[in-house]
Structure 1
């Protein structure tokens, strides 16, 4: 094998990779935050919203979880444009990723909500707490605590899946790699660099979620339960 590795392109193109990684972080942080809110609302709707809301959220969850993310991105970017609603690639990416994250978060949070024992809800009633107070103080935080590792893992998976948004010209990390390799013809080296960048981003995201968990869930920290 006579292939010679050449990473000299990094001397000139590293700012492009940094910009692509930064856009990846921006897109995914927004999508994770919005997706968590959407998923939590849908989880509560499935648990406490009655048959109609339960069915509607169920349709949403099953539709998103059983269709490819790439198709969802195309529907938002190309489909809405065909209907007269033109969105930028970045905005379309955030919307599609949010909807996708929301569907998976719904099921994760629903598992946490359903794990809350009925006796705790009855105790809240005895204390005279309103329905909203019960949900906020008795249900949501303990539910989130129980499923937090799954939420963190899903967020990391979403960050990795955001590479698909390069297909609609969102200039994130993978799109940057495609552009650099087309200019330098060093495909192997470029994608090795990008793979390392994604590994670093994954480690940063996991550390960030660990730190957030340490702040939110004092009981787990005291007991030494892993997040």
Structure 2
């Protein structure tokens, strides 16, 4: 039995694939930035916030980390309309991604914060800095430098996991690939191309994160 490869129909739909890839990049980059803000705020709450706030953050983290991402997306897209909040597929996908990555990144950043020696915090307080100033100027940047590799790996995993949002008809790369496959019946060819596109996007994000590390977190050359 021989198989005839048919990449023609896939190449003819390259505009749809590029549009899906662009939306995947937009969703992923936006979720990374917003999720980082959520994670920093929650990490501060867990390490320095009042006890009731720490309890709320702990509940948020445990719920997100112990439930499937697909169920979270379904809850936001199909469940929230029952409470009067209706979101478009793309907006629901972005919200789900932010909530999900925020929980995982919180624990990563918390570990970085707790790696900072308490003496540095005490020195900042002794100099008259307020707790938020100590967190911003003394704790946060060294903590982010420490956990940066793990944090960026989590962000890349988020981009790859974003393929799940096609389940609510968000117009991402996987959704476009499913549409093309249903019209052309070229499953092998479509998903091979999509696999290579996801690989390219992962490598692109890795290159961007490496550049950010060199610019923002690398130690100065003392030679």
Coarse TM-score class (shorter-chain normalised): over 0.9
Distance 2:4 2:221 in 1: 53
Distance in 2 (CA, whole Å) between partners of 1:214 and 1:201 is 20
What is aligned with 2:181? 181
- What are the within-5 Å matches in structure 2 for residues 48-59 of structure 1? 48-59=48-59
2 CA distance for matches of 1:193 and 1:39? 34
Is the 8 Å Cα contact of residues 35 and 98 (structure 2) preserved in structure 1?
yes
Larger relative contact order, structure 1 or 2 (CA cutoff 8 Å, min sep 6): 2
Q: Deviations over 1:150-209 (max 9, x none)?
A: 110000000000000000000100000000001110001100000000000000011111
CA displacement 1:135-155 (0-9 Å, x = unmatched)? 100011110010000110000
Q: Which moved more, 1:36-45 or 1:50-59?
A: 50-59
User: What are the ranges of 5 or more consecutive residues in structure 2 without an aligned counterpart?
Assistant: none
Is contact 2:10–2:189 with CA below 8 Å preserved after alignment? no
Residues in 2 aligned to 1:191 and 1:68: alpha-carbon distance in whole angstroms: 24
Moved more, 20-29 or 83-92: 83-92
How many corresponding residue pairs?
222
Instruction: Write out aligned runs for 1:1-227 (5 A).
Output: 1-219=1-219, 222=221
Distance in 1, Cα, partners of 2:152 & 2:40: 14
- Structure 1 residue ranges without an equivalent (≥5): none
TM-score between both structures, scaled by the size of structure 1: 0.95
What's the TM-score once normalised by structure 2's chain length?
0.97
Moved beyond 4 Å, runs of 4+? none
